[in-house]
Structures are given as C-alpha cells and as structure tokens.
Copies of this chain bind each other. A is one copy, B any other.
Amino acid sequence: MNAQATRRRQTRRSQTPARRGPVRPSLPELSRSVEDYLKAVYHLSDQGAVATTKDIALRLLVAAPSVSIMLKRLATLGLVKRVPYQGAQLTREGRQAALRTIRRHRVLELYLTRHLGFAWDTVHDEAERLEHAVSDLVIDRMAVALDNPRYDPHGDPIPSADGTIESASLVSLATAPVGSELELRQVTTQDPERLRFLAGHGLMPGLHFTIADRQPFGGPTTVRFRPTGAVQVVGMELAQLLMCLGGTK
C-alpha cells in the first residue's frame, strides 16, 4: 500500500513541484497562480524596470501581501529576482515561462476567432482560463492550423515555440504627427465595448491610413484609410490605444 500511496501523490496535481535537479529541463508544471504572476511581472517590467508589488496587486486584483508572499516563492523557485521593498524582475527561466503562457494565450485567442467564430472582443477571458490548461502540443497544432501566425487578433506578437518574441517600435495614433502614413498594428485594450466600437469602424490591425488632421487640446484625430480614402475621426482616448507602425511622413 505504500508504493501505491507514493504513486498517488505524484500522479495528483503537483503541490510541491518535486524538483529533481535544475529548473530548466522537463518543466515542473507551474500552477495557474504562478503563471498569472509571471505574466503580470512580464507585462509590468518593460525594459529593465522592476514590477512593483502594488502594480502586480492591481493587475491581478489581489491584495498586496499576497503579492509579497508569492514573489518570495517565485524567487525561491528561481523565476524572479526580488529586491525587497523595491519590486521584482523575471529571471531567464521566469521570462521563458511567462512567454510560454503568453504564447498559449495569444494562439488561443487567434484560434478562437479564426476557427470557432468568436469575435475579438470575447476571446480574452476564454483564453485567460484555457492558457493554464492546454498543453504546448495542442497549442502547436493550433498554430499550424493557423499557418504559424505572428500576431493575435489584437495585433500582439505571438512568441515562438522556442521563446522569442518580436518587438517592434510602435507609435500611438494619439502622438503620431499629422501627415504620417501608418499601419495600425496593435490595439492595446481588452475592453469589449471599445473593441466592438473599433471593429465597427474598421479600426483593426492591418489597416493602412494617413493622419489627415488632429485637433488641439486633446481633440480627435482624423485618419484617411489608405486604399479606400474613407475618413474616420478618432477621439483621444481611443487614439491612445491604437499603436501604429510607421513609414514616417
């Protein structure tokens, strides 16, 4: 009965990941929470900055002490480098794990829209739950079915299976100068209302346009769609969400 009991404990969901050896080789099955925290730290620590406890807490809708404790745990797992009272940064392993999760999320979002008929404003929450349960094998099959896509429905780059991710330098529609010829590359919101509005007015990744005008004092930006010549006025708040790739002028 003892051998059996032992098998049990290992078969059941890993409570203590049973790390034999260094972290890298056969992935130790991170918990849903750990993956969420890693994603949060990834998104909050742009280029060398540290993610603060408070920002992580806000992003995950969790109390600050929970973050403190989790960061300590992530540090002992080697996924995060922590400076007490300052914040945390991902280690190489942590970054890889975060990118795996982000890849899963973005492939799922695209798959749900392309193959299962979901609108782009509804896929975020689905993907948020599925990303923790789906295996990389399924994700890779989905990616193949999607012809190895580079971007998710919102234009966010999809990390490759080996953990590299494109980083383009984009400008917000709100700040690009009048006269610029741009391509809308990325829409940085998950709010369904905004997404529906944007899609309803043709403002989706891939759109080419020219900035025809911008009113001062936080006023709207007017864009002219490139092939068609159609004109669209975009308010400041939305313009800030639209990240563009630019042929200058």
Residue A61, interface by CB 8 Å? yes
Residue A133, interface by CB 8 Å? yes
Residue A47, interface by CB 8 Å? no
Residue from the set A8, A118, A133, A135 with the largest chain B CB neighbour count within 10 Å: A133
Residues A61 and B138 in contact, CB atoms below 8 Å apart = no
Residue A73, interface by CB 8 Å? no
Please give, as numbers and ranges, the residues of chain B lying within 8 Å of A112 by CB-CB distance: 138
Copy number in the complex reads 2
Residues B133 and A129 in contact, CB atoms below 8 Å apart = yes
Residue A2, interface by CB 8 Å? no
Q: Tell me the interface secondary structure of chain A in the complex.
A: helix
Shortest 5 CB-CB contacts between residues of A and residues of B: A133-B133, A116-B141, A129-B133, A11-B61, A8-B61
Task: Report the bound CA distance from A133 to B138 in whole Å.
Answer: 14
Q: A63-B8, A118-B141 given as contacts; is B130 within 8 A of A133 (CB)? A: yes
Q: A126-B138, A130-B133 are in contact. List 12 more A-B contacts (CB 8 A).
A: A8-B61, A11-B61, A112-B138, A115-B115, A115-B145, A116-B138, A116-B141, A116-B142, A117-B141, A118-B141, A126-B134, A130-B134
Minimum distance in angstroms from A10 CB to a CB of chain B: 9
* CB-nearest residue of chain B to A141: B116
Residues B133 and A61 in contact, CB atoms below 8 Å apart = no
Residue A132, interface by CB 8 Å? yes
Interface range for A: 20 to 34
28 inter-chain pairs at a CB distance below 8 angstroms, sorted by A residue, are: A8-B61, A8-B62, A8-B63, A11-B61, A12-B61, A12-B62, A112-B138, A115-B115, A115-B145, A116-B138, A116-B141, A116-B142, A117-B141, A118-B138, A118-B141, A126-B134, A126-B135, A126-B137, A126-B138, A129-B133, A129-B134, A129-B135, A130-B130, A130-B133, A130-B134, A130-B138, A132-B133, A133-B133
A residues 123-173 near B (Cβ < 8 Å) are: 126, 129-130, 132-135, 137-138, 141-142, 145
A residues 75-115 near B (Cβ < 8 Å) are: 112, 115
